[in-house]
Chain A
Amino acid sequence: MNKLLEIRNLHASIGGKEILKGIDLVINEGEVHAIMGPNGAGKSTLSAVLTGHPAYEVTGGEVLLRGENLLAMEPEVRARAGVFLSFQYPVEIPGVSMTNFMRTALNEKRAYEGKEPLSAKDFLRLMREKKQLLELPDKLNNRSVNEGFSGGEKKKNEIFQMAMLEPCLAILDETDSGLDIDALRIVAEGVNRLKNPHNASIVITHYQRLLDYIVPDFVHVLADGKIVKTGDKTLALELEEHGYEGLEG
């Protein structure tokens, strides 16, 4: 099994306050890892640090993506190298159409991989194909990114972008929050269909519910900036029943 991501003793802070206090985690190709934990444990900080959010400072440790120093890369380079974050709160960008946004992103990634940009025709065909996967409407193309989208549409749009960009590591940050059961099913099916032996995902969630649909190989409990317990999918059920009491770092 090929090692995709390796996190070693990662420490990170925001505004001088330490949030991650020594995370160790290895993710191999083909694996799904769930990260659960109480509010404030550092779940969203971990996704922000992995993607290079400028507000967070890494104060120790290292992260390797296929053996390369991920933390030394600019956020856009991490993305082109295949790290994708499905945002907990997708950002609205008035005036930038989905088409323009997606085409720019895809062609930047292709340039990074040494490929030619897609022609307008091939690009639109790809958009149509991937939209169907998420049951998104055709009119999406001309709408501004996330502007006026419902909560469910925003989350579907995240997974749609993931389908377009085909990342090797997808981080789903509370993708289930604010979704009704139908939207949850569509989003989870989308994620499952994108799974292949060479990519992996980190599913950050508060609740067991999403893990009924996206079945994890490993479940980690994050508490007070550290992984305090790791198990298989039955750990999520246990947590659902007994809560996080007794697991605090």
Chain B
Amino acid sequence: METILLHSNESFERVFLNEPVDLHIVQEAGSRVKIVVVDFETSRPRDLEIANRITIEQAGEGCVTEIYGLAYLRGDERVTTETHVHHQVGSGRSEQLIKFVLDDQAQGRFVGDLKIAPDAQQVEAHQTNRNILLSEGAQMRTQPQLEIYADDVKATHGASTGQLDESALFYMQQRGISKEKARQLLVGAFMREVIEAIGDQHSAVREQLLHTIDGVVE
């Protein structure tokens, strides 16, 4: 595990592309964190389980934390992404968007532990988990764990797992687009939101990933 102490008003941004994350960050007042985790490997050894674990402690006021996750899994791939976001003091903000696309027998798991301490007033915390299952055999487990002890906070949590929009697939087919290509376009559109969150500091990776998801239609 890598532990990082982020001093007041410092910024930290990192993209993890096809590498497991095990990171613990303590944020001092006014610091900013952005982490983007993308599991996108197409030729990973079978049966390999990836575990991503991100722990954030907002120890000073006015911190901002953004966590984005995207996993596109096929075959027997399994990925667990675990986030622990602890607002220990007030007036901080955290934003989490975690997406899984699961095909074949792939399995995804998201554990989202969000704590807001009793004195951490005026915190804004959002946690969203959206998943698409492309096959009958794919599985997703979502385990949100919300512990909110302060009363003057804005906290939201949302999770959904579903299939591709059948009406959108038919609409595209009616314009001559094959079902397979239509699926790729919809999956690409679903993934785009996470990839676009990658900041300019890592624009080369962002453009490469956008190209990968668009590439399927060219």
Q: Are B167 and A91 in contact (CB under 8 A)?
A: yes
Known contacts A94-B189, A95-B189, A108-B178; A101 and B172 CB within 8 A of each other:
yes
Contacts of A52 in B (CB 8 A): 173
Q: Are B168 and A95 in contact (CB under 8 A)?
A: no
Contacts of B189 in A (CB 8 A): 93-96, 144
Does B175 interact with chain A (Cβ within 8 Å)?
A: yes
Interface size range on A against B: 20 to 34
Residue among A74, A91, A104 making CB contact with B171, cutoff 8 Å:
A91
Does A165 interact with chain B (Cβ within 8 Å)?
A: yes
Contacts of B166 in A (CB 8 A): 54
A161 to B175, CA, bound (A): 8
Q: Are B186 and A96 in contact (CB under 8 A)?
A: yes
Identity of the chain B residue whose Cβ is nearest the Cβ of A103 in the assembled complex: B217
Does B177 interact with chain A (Cβ within 8 Å)?
A: yes
B34: min CB distance to chain A, Å:
21
Q: Are B214 and A100 in contact (CB under 8 A)?
A: yes
Q: Are A104 and B186 in contact (CB under 8 A)?
A: no
A53 to B188, CA, bound (A): 24
Identity of the chain B residue whose Cβ is nearest the Cβ of A53 in the assembled complex: B170
A91 to B170, CA, bound (A): 9
Does B192 interact with chain A (Cβ within 8 Å)?
A: yes
Q: Are A93 and B192 in contact (CB under 8 A)?
A: no
A54 to B172, CA, bound (A): 13
Contacts of B174 in A (CB 8 A): 51, 75-76, 79, 84-85, 87
Does B73 interact with chain A (Cβ within 8 Å)?
A: no
Contacts of B192 in A (CB 8 A): 95
Q: Which of B54-95 contact A (CB under 8 A)?
A: none
A91 to B168, CA, bound (A): 6
Does A33 interact with chain B (Cβ within 8 Å)?
A: no
B135: min CB distance to chain A, Å:
18
A75 to B185, CA, bound (A): 17
Does B193 interact with chain A (Cβ within 8 Å)?
A: yes
A84 to B176, CA, bound (A): 9
Does B181 interact with chain A (Cβ within 8 Å)?
A: yes
Known contacts A95-B188, A95-B190, A95-B193; A90 and B171 CB within 8 A of each other:
yes
Q: Which residues of B contact A (CB under 8 A)?
A: 165-168, 170-179, 181, 185-186, 188-190, 192-193, 214, 217
Q: Which residues of A contact B (CB under 8 A)?
A: 51-54, 74-76, 79-80, 84-85, 87, 90-96, 100-101, 104-106, 108-109, 112, 144-145, 161, 165
18 residue pairs A–B, Cβ–Cβ below 8 Å: A52-B173, A74-B179, A76-B178, A79-B175, A79-B176, A91-B167, A93-B168, A94-B189, A96-B188, A104-B217, A105-B176, A108-B176, A108-B177, A108-B181, A109-B176, A112-B176, A144-B189, A161-B175
